[in-house]
Structure 1
Amino acid sequence: MSLNPHTAASLRPLKIMIVDDSAVVRGLISRWLEHEPDMVLAGLAIDGAKGVEKVKEIQPDVLILDIEMPNMGGLEALPKLLAAKPGLKVLMASTLTTRGANVTLRALELGAADYIPKPDSTRIGGADGFRTELLTKIRALCGRTRSWPAPAPAPAPEKPATLERSSALISSQAPRPAPLAAPKPVITPVAPIVRPRSTGPKRIDCLVVGASTGGPPALRAFLLGLGPDWKIPVLIVQHMPATFTAILAEHLDKALPQKVQEAKDGMLIESRNIYIAPGDWHMTIKNDPIVKQIKLDQGPQVNWCRPAVDPLFKTAADVYGNHALGVVLTGMGHDGRDGAKALVDVNGSVMVQDEATSVVWGMPGAVAEAGLAEIIKPIEGLSAACKAFARGERPN
């Protein structure tokens, strides 16, 4: 796999900037970055206006942006930050609330690369998952998923502490030495393999879609590209928390002529309907003798995810056979690869978003490198190919 446009940057530490009015959050993230040889804290700002000025000066690779701040909040600052540094990767730090979800999805539409849920604000222990996810996403957004080891374990505090106490500890610490120079990454290019296309028309009865990092804007563009005449039911797994999937469904429902809803257990799969898997629930398809139904469960995580793409794709293969069409959009990891194989094994078709237009070419890249993708195209090409399938034609 080629390193998309980050080859030169991969030979130096990534420059990370934090824009957040919370001294506690700034302090925690700063400490974490000190332990990462491939990252360096390049700057701090306490509001959006100051952040814009510092971005012009520092030109960071990744910016972690709070939503609620005095003077200029994250949503207002975002377009100015992106204009100050073309190609800047912005991670929105979001609360798991309805308002947080609405604002975060709006930020993604405006150009933010991804979001990360903030930890519980009362205890430092709630930050462990936040740290791991944050560092993983930073590396993925900069094309270093394959080049750097997983984040090292966080230093354990001597005893439980509130975030207020943690802030005092941070401010009293002596300055730490500069991080060591990052080692050169080992990169093994792997060329994607385009699966030979089967011949002749194929009837499509169900479209299943998987997405993760960068997914909401990609989903919106892809579904809008299907057009007002699209009638085939669409089932989507987007890696998101529960509150966010409900808001995502609402946003898409307002934008599309088809009905978009967060799926419920036992819901009938009907034409002109689009179903979003709810956060923390796997979505699969139940093959009722009379009607097809959605089944939700909270079984073990698959590929460290729930919902996961693989269970949906596998049951689509079981229920619809070669009349199922799978699409894998931008995302981190390899969720969807095994499900894509299940579709291919029953002579179904699988398409993936190309590397150039993906925020992260992890999920689609894994499918392509396994030789399971029949078509590799940007968003508009995938929508056009789906419409060709719906007409019983072979896409170009």
Structure 2
Amino acid sequence: MAEKVRTLIVDDSAIMRKLIVDILKKDPEIEIIGQAVNGKEAIEKAKVLKPDVITLDIEMPEMDGISALKILKKELPQTKIIMFSSLTQEGAKATIEALSLGAYDFVPKPSTKSFLESVKKIENDLLPKIKGITSSKEIKSFKITPSQKLLKPGLFRILGIGVSTGGPQTLIEIFKGIPKNFPSPILIVQHMPPLFTKQLADRLDKISPLQVKEAEDGEAIKEGVVYIAPGDYHMEVVKENTQKYIKLHQGPPVNNCRPAVDVLFNSLAEIYNGSSLVLILTGMGRDGAEGAKKVKLKGGGVIAQDAQTSVVFGMPRAVIEAGLADEVLSLSEIPKRLRELFRCY
């Protein structure tokens, strides 16, 4: 029998703590080992209890979640921390900061407008994220043999990126290594709700020499600009004469996601044919696998992040096991390889 995921709950609200407890008690694979009411108490209890997972509120008295996160990442680097965030602009900004500091993932807090619906969404979000931590431990030794088709530099005119859990810190590391003279557009689908994608774009724009922005419907796609799909909108590329444009829409979720990586990758395959390169990064599930297959059928290239550097190896693993990955790279290898393939140094 697999070991239970030992979880510490941290929130200054007794109501919120009870809500999380009630949700986690539904799953026999999760064990609640303690509760704390602020960041200071969380650090003290975590040092003693050594949890696998901490659910950590951002806004708390005495010591907030961001301050606690910084200490916990140093003291207990193996513990995965899931942030709870309010659905506000400030909450989204703080959450992106937490994710860039190494938080595992986040869950939006319930809104007063639709409390019961929000509680159900928390349950649907939180349980898989906690249980995904256990599976991520098991796949770090996953060995693969890529398709051995070494991609050739100079063939690609656009880069598509699909990413989910662990995305912000992974994207930050990649974009630190992408130079200002990168010659092609970059389109990103990061699984995130509205508000959060705008804050992610702003954070990446600050650390990258490239312009990074949240995509807008109908805007012309420009070389050297990075476009992030807005939360709750699929993003595609469409073509009119020789000009290519962003198309945003709220079609049905794909792989339970909107935005979905498959939607973006399918459009890149159709519009760019063999000149599209797609990159599958850390994330739960298999979103991006079908789109990567279409890119390959059209002659494009596929790169997947390896197991050892993925926070969660779901999305890259789906692509690799389907035999779609031309190259499998560690996080540190990806920026250098992109510079080579797009011939920019």
TM-score class, shorter: over 0.9
Question: Per-residue displacement from partner, 1:287-333 (whole Å, max 9, x unpaired)?
Answer: 22120111111100000000000011111011111111000111110
**What is the CA distance between 1:391 and its match in structure 2?**
2.1
* Runs of 4+ with >4 A deviation: 198-202
Distance in 2 between the 1:60 and 1:362 partners? 23
Which of 300, 305, 324 lines up with 2:257 in the alignment? Answer: 305
Match of 1:335 in 2: 287
Q: Percent identity?
A: 42
Counterpart-to-counterpart distance in 2, 1:206 and 1:372: 18
Amino acid corresponding to residue 36 of structure 2 in structure 1: A
Determine the structure 1 residue equivalent to 2:99. 108
Q: Aligned partners of 1:228, 1:380: CA distance in 2, in Å?
A: 19
How many correspondences in the alignment? 343
CA contact (8 A) 1:190 1:369 kept: no
Q: How far has the Cα of 1:34 moved from its partner? A: 2.1
State the match for 1:93 in structure 2: 84
Instruction: Measure, in 2, the Cα distance between the counterparts of 1:269 and 1:222.
Output: 21
Match of 1:130 among 113, 116, 122: 122
Q: Distance in 1 between matches of 2:125 and 2:231?
A: 17
TM superposition shift of 1:102: 0.7
Is the CA contact 1:91–1:115 (under 8 Å) kept in the aligned structure 2?
A: yes
What are the equivalent positions in structure 2 for 1:217-296 lying under 5 Å apart? 217-296=169-248
TM-score (norm 2): 0.95
Aligned equivalent of 2:22: 31
The answer to whether residue 70 in structure 2 is matched with residue 118 in structure 1 is: no
2:300 corresponds to? 348
| Structure 2 unaligned residues grouped into runs of 5+ | none
Aligned match of 1:389: 341
Can you list the C-alpha shifts for 1:331-385, whole angstroms capped at 9, x where unaligned? 1100000000011101111001111111100111111111101111112212111
3-state SS of paired residue (1:218):
helix
Secondary structure in structure 2 of the residue aligned to 1:379: coil
Once residues 337 and 199 of structure 1 are traced to their aligned partners in structure 2, the CA distance between those partners, rounded to angstroms, is 19
Q: Do the aligned partners of 1:202 and 1:323 also contact (CA within 8 Å) in 2?
A: no
The amino acid of 2:28's aligned partner reads P
Shift in Å, 1:198: 5.3
| TM-score for the superposition, normalised by structure 1 | 0.83
SS in 2 for 1:365: helix
Check the 8 A contact 2:136/2:313 in 1, yes or no. no
CA 1:25–1:199: 2 relative to 1, 3 Å: closer
Letter in 1 for 2:176: L
Structure 1: stretches of 5+ with no match in the other structure = 1-9, 148-186
Bigger-Rg structure (1/2): 1
Secondary structure of residue in 1 paired with 2:177: helix
The whole-number CA distance in structure 2 between the counterparts of 1:299 and 1:191 is: 37
Distance in 2 (alpha carbons) for counterparts of 1:144 and 1:382: 21
Once the two structures are TM-superposed, the CA of residue 264 in structure 1 deviates from its matched residue by: 0.8
DSSP-derived class of the 1:11 partner: coil
CA–CA distance in 1 between the matches of 2:205 and 2:77?
31
Aligned-CA RMSD value:
2.0
Q: How far off its partner does 1:141 sit? A: 2.4
Q: Which amino acid aligns with 2:229?
A: A
Distance 1:96 1:200 in 2: 44
Give the equivalent residue in structure 2 for 1:143.
135
Cα distance, 1:200–1:305 mapped onto 2, change above 3 Å: closer
The answer (yes or no) to whether the contact 1:233–1:274 under 8 Å persists in 2 is yes
Q: Alignment partner of 2:333: what SS?
A: helix
Verify: 1:79 aligned to 2:79, yes or no: no
- By how many angstroms is 1:202 displaced? 4.3
**3-state SS, counterpart of residue 86 of structure 1:** coil
Deviation of residue 193 (structure 1)? 4.2
What amino acid is aligned across from residue 268 of structure 2 in structure 1? A
Q: Which residue matches 1:11?
A: 2
> 8 Å contact 1:19–1:63 — kept in the other structure?
yes
Q: C-alpha offsets along residues 214-241 of structure 1, whole Å, 9 cap, x if unaligned?
A: 0011111112212222121100000111
Letter in 1 for 2:276: A
On the 8 A contact 1:193/1:369 being kept in 2, the answer is no
Q: CA deviation at 1:86?
A: 2.5
Aligned to 1:59: 50
Q: Which amino acid aligns with 2:279?
A: V
